Amino acid sequence: MGSQKKRNRLRKGIKCSAIKNHLMFKKIVWITISIIAAISLSVVVGIINPSEKVNALWLVVASGCFYVITYRFYASFLAAKVLTIDEKCITPAIRLSDGIDYYPTNRWILFGHHFAAIAGAGPLIGPMLAAQFGYLPGFLWILIGSTLGGAVHDMVILFASVRRDGHSLAQIARDEIGPVGGIAAAFAILFIITVALAGLGLAVVNALSKSPWGTFTIALTIPIAFFMGIYLYRLRPGKVGEVSVIGVTLLLIAVFTGHYIPGSFLDPFFNLSRNSVVLSIIIYGFIASVLPVWMLLAPRDYLSTYMKIGTILLLAFGVIIIAPNIQMPAVTRFADGGGPIIPGKLFPFMFITIACGAISGFHSLISSGTTPKMIMSEKDIPFIGYGAMLTEGFVSVMALIAATILIPGDYFAINTKLSFDAIAALGFPVDRATELSKMVGTDVVGRPGGAVSLAVGMASIFSNLPGMKGLMPYWYNFAIMFEALFILTTVDAGTRVARFLLQELGGYIYKPLSKTGWLPGNIVASFLVVTAWGYLIHSGNISTIWPMFGVANQLLAAIALGVGTAVIVKSGKLRYAWTTFVPMLFMFTTTLTASWKLIVMFTDKAVSAISHTEAITFKIDALLVSIMGILAIIVLIDMLYKLYWYLSKRLDIIK
- Rg from Cα positions in the chain: 25
pLDDT confidence of residue 654: 43
**380-383 long-range contacts, CB within 8 A, separation 24+:** 380/107, 380/110, 381/79, 381/83, 381/85, 381/155, 381/158, 381/159, 381/162, 382/71, 382/75, 382/76, 382/78, 382/79, 382/85, 382/155, 383/107, 383/111
Residue 226 located in a structural domain: no
Contact between residue 423 and residue 413 where contact means Cβ atoms under 8 Å apart: yes
What is d(CA 641, CA 651) in angstroms, rounded to the nearest whole number?
Answer: 15
Preceding omega of 340 cis (within 30 degrees of 0): no
For residues 448 and 415, the answer to whether their CB atoms sit within 8 Å is yes
- What is the predicted pLDDT for the residue at 655? 43
Can you give the residue range of the structural domain that contains 140?
A: 53-210+272-654
Q: Tell me if residue 652 falls in helix, strand or coil.
A: helix
Distance CA 567, CA 562 (A): 9
Query: How far is residue 142's CA from residue 62's CA, in Å, rounded to a whole number?
Result: 12
| Burial of 423 from C-beta contacts in 10 A (0-12 / 13-18 / 19+) | buried
For residue 23, give the H/E element and its range.
helix 2-45
- Assign residue 601 the CATH number of its domain: 1.20.1740
Q: Is residue 614 part of a domain?
A: yes
> Can you tell me the distance from the alpha carbon of 286 to that of 291, in angstroms, rounded to the nearest whole number?
9
In this structure, is residue 71 part of a structural domain? yes
Q: What is the DSSP letter of 149?
A: I
Residue 229, domain member (yes or no): no
Please name the residue ranges forming H helices in 46-134: 56-77, 92-95, 107-118, 122-130
Domain assignment present for 247: no
Q: What's the CA gap between 366 and 489, in Å, rounded?
A: 12
Three-class DSSP category at 375: strand
What integer pLDDT is reported at residue 255 of this predicted model? 78
Distances (CA, A) of 570 to 121, 565, 638: 35, 9, 15
| CB-facing half-sphere around the CA of 654: CA atoms within 13 A | 6
SS (H, E, C) 484-536: HHHHHHHHHHHHHHHHHHHHHHHCCCCHHHHCCCCHHHHHHHHHHHHHHHHHH
Taking the C-alpha atoms of residue 221 and residue 431, their distance in angstroms, rounded to an integer, is 39
Distance CA 190, CA 195 (A): 9
Which residue numbers in the chain have pLDDT < 50? 653-655
Q: Does residue 391 sit within a domain?
A: yes
Mind listing the pLDDT tens digit for each residue in 350-378? 998 887 789 998 899 889 988 999 999 99
* C-alpha–C-alpha distance, residues 184 and 447, integer Å: 39
Axis crossing angle, helix 387-404 with helix 297-322, rounded to the nearest 10:
50
Does residue 225 fall inside a structural domain?
A: no
Amino acid (one-letter) located at 45 = V
Give yes or no for a contact between 366 and 493, defined as CB atoms under 8 angstroms apart. Answer: yes
333 CB contacts (<8 Å, ≥6 apart)?
Answer: 426, 427
Indicate whether 126 belongs to any domain: yes
**What does the pLDDT read at residue 195?**
79
At 115-149, the pLDDT tens digits run: 888 887 778 888 988 999 999 999 999 999 999 99
Total Cβ atoms within 10 A of residue 262: 16
Please answer whether residues 367 and 385 qualify as being in contact, where contact means their C-beta atoms are separated by less than 8 angstroms: yes
DSSP secondary structure code for residue 333 in this structure: G
* Cα–Cα separations (whole angstroms), residue 59 to 36, 67, 313: 12, 12, 14
For 442: left if phi > 0, alpha if psi spans -120 to 50, otherwise beta; the answer is: beta
By the 8 A CB rule, do 121 and 487 touch? yes
User: Nearest to residue 105, comparing CAs of 287, 297, 338, 274?
Assistant: 297
User: pTM score, two decimals?
Assistant: 0.85
Give the C-alpha separation, 493 to 496, whole Å: 5
pLDDT score recorded for residue 298: 72
Amino acid code (one letter) for 483: E
Q: Compute CA 306 distance to the chain's CA centroid, rounded to the nearest angstrom.
A: 16
Number of neighbours of residue 180 by Cβ within 10 angstroms: 16
**Could you give the C-alpha distances from 251 to 248, 264, 282, 302, 306, in angstroms and in order?**
5, 20, 23, 12, 9
Backbone angles phi, psi at 293, to 5 degrees: -60, -30
**Residue 571, CA distances (Å) to 10, 367, 439, 457, 558 in order:** 47, 19, 59, 47, 20
Q: How many domains does the chain have?
A: 1
Name 275's Cβ contacts closer than 8 Å, sequence gap at least 6. Answer: 538
E-state strands within 210-287: none
- CA count, 13 A, side-chain hemisphere, 408: 24
3-state secondary structure of 97: coil
- If you count them, how many residues does the chain have? 655
Cβ atoms of 229 and 299 closer than 8 Å: yes
Q: Which residue, among 586, 580, 560, 558, has the nearest Cα to 568 in the 3D structure?
A: 580
- In DSSP terms, 375 is beta-bridged to 105
For residues 358 and 150, the answer to whether their CB atoms sit within 8 Å is yes
User: What was the pLDDT predicted at 583?
Assistant: 96
